[in-house]
Structure 1
Amino acid sequence: MTEPARDLKGGLRVEPLTGDALIAALPRLAELRIAVFGAWPYLYAGDRAYEERYMRAYGESPGALVAGCFDGAEIVGASTAAPMEDHAREFAAPFQERGYDISEILYCGESVLLPEYRGHGVGHGFFDAREAHGRALGRRRICFCGVVRDPADPRRPKDYAPLDPFWRKRGYEKLDGLTARYAWREHGAREETEHEMQFWMRDL
Structure 2
Amino acid sequence: MAEIHLTFETLAGPALHPLLPDLARLRTIVFRGWPYLYEGEEAYERDYLRAYADAPGAVVVVCRDGVRVVGAATCEPMSEGHEPVRRSFQAAGLDPAQFCYFGESVLLAEYRGRGAGVRFFTEREAHARSLGLRFAAFCAVVRDPDDPRRPADYVPLDAFWRKRGYTPRPEITVTFDWKEVGADAETPHTLSCWIKDLDA
Same fold by TM-score greater than 0.5: yes
- TM-score normalised according to structure 2 size: 0.95
Partner of 1:63: 57
TM-score normalised over the length of structure 1? 0.93
Does residue 22 of the first structure (1) align with residue 16 of the second (2)? yes
Match of 2:141 in 1: 147
AA at the equivalent of 1:181: T
- The 3-state SS of whatever aligns with 1:195 is strand
Q: Distance in 2 between matches of 1:71 and 1:20?
A: 22
What's 1:36 paired with? Answer: 30
Q: Distance in 2 between matches of 1:75 and 1:153?
A: 31
Paired residue type of 1:141 = F
Matched to 1:195, the amino acid is: H
- Structure 1: runs of 5 or more not aligned: 1-8
Q: Which ranges in structure 2 are unaligned for 5 or more consecutive residues?
A: none
Other-structure match for 2:164: 170
1:181 has 2:151 as partner:
no
Counterpart of 1:75 (choices 50, 53, 69) is 69
In the TM superposition, structure 1's runs of 4+ consecutive aligned residues that sit over 4 Å from their partners are none
- Equivalent residue of 1:151, what SS? coil
Say which SS state the counterpart of residue 37 (structure 2) adopts.
Answer: coil
What SS does the corresponding residue of 2:22 show, helix, strand or coil?
Answer: helix
> Among 16, 39, 47, which residue is 1:53 paired with?
47
Alpha-carbon separation, structure 2, partners of 1:21 and 1:177: 37
User: Percent of aligned positions with the same letter in both sequences?
Assistant: 52
Q: CA RMSD in A?
A: 1.1
Task: Provide, for residues 59-98 of structure 1, a one-character-per-residue CA deviation record: whole Å limited to 9, x for no partner.
Answer: 2112111110011111100000001011111111110111
